[in-house]
Amino acid sequence: MKGSVALRRWPLLLAAWCLASVAWAGNQKEEALADSVRTALSQAISDPRPPQPHFADIKARIRYLYWRGEMSERLKPKLPDAQMRREFLNTVWYEATRAGLDTQLVLGLIQVESAFHSYALSNMGARGYMQVMPFWTRLVGDGDAKKLFGMQANLRYGCSILRMYIDQEDGNLFLALGRYNGSRGQREYPEAVLNVSKRWEYKD
């Protein structure tokens, strides 16, 4: 009897999980890019260097290690595996820093977009942690949309695209976040990301 109840509940639980994972799913709009923008974005995406942090001095490295330790504790409920958390945070820090973004903004966006589910898939087809639309792989990548479920590829695309939008909006984060979500000018999504990002703030 208990088994049959559990089986009946399973579709409801699965539906609830899927709804939670796509509630804020990204829906970037495919738009014409200037040749210079397309070239710059393509070069950023194809950079072959691995996500290995490099530091100017020992103080910077120590600060990074403290940051990673604190963020790892906060992420435990969402990513229980310690090795996965370490790899994830290494990649978030590397790709965010590389794109000139605050790590807390990137973590906030990931939480809102996918709730830290690497295989999140929206009803519009956006994929992975940062809910990147497949058309980006055709515009500036090698056309292989399956890569968007990979951690490094997804974070590289997501951070590079967000950086592009910030530059195109002359630093206006509100409008850039709206464009990332396909809801430019509407308040709900940018405010959600900025509010959630506060949870990932790190203070020395």
* Cα torsion angle, 171, 95, 154, 145, sign: positive
Q: pLDDT at residue 120 above 80?
A: yes
Mean pLDDT in residue range 144-165:
95
The model's pTM is 0.84
Where do we find the tokens 């393509």?
42
More confident residue, 125 or 48: 125
Q: Are 44 and 148 within 8 A, CB to CB?
A: no
Q: What is the pLDDT of residues 45-86, one digit of tens each?
A: 887 776 788 888 999 999 999 999 999 999 999 999 999 999
Q: What is the pLDDT of residue 1?
A: 44
Token code pair at residue 111: 């939480």
- Give all domains of the chain, ordered by start, each with its CATH number: 2-200 (1.10.530)
Q: What is the pLDDT of residue 26?
A: 54
**What's the distance, CA 25 to chain centroid?**
11
Mean pLDDT in the chain?
Answer: 86
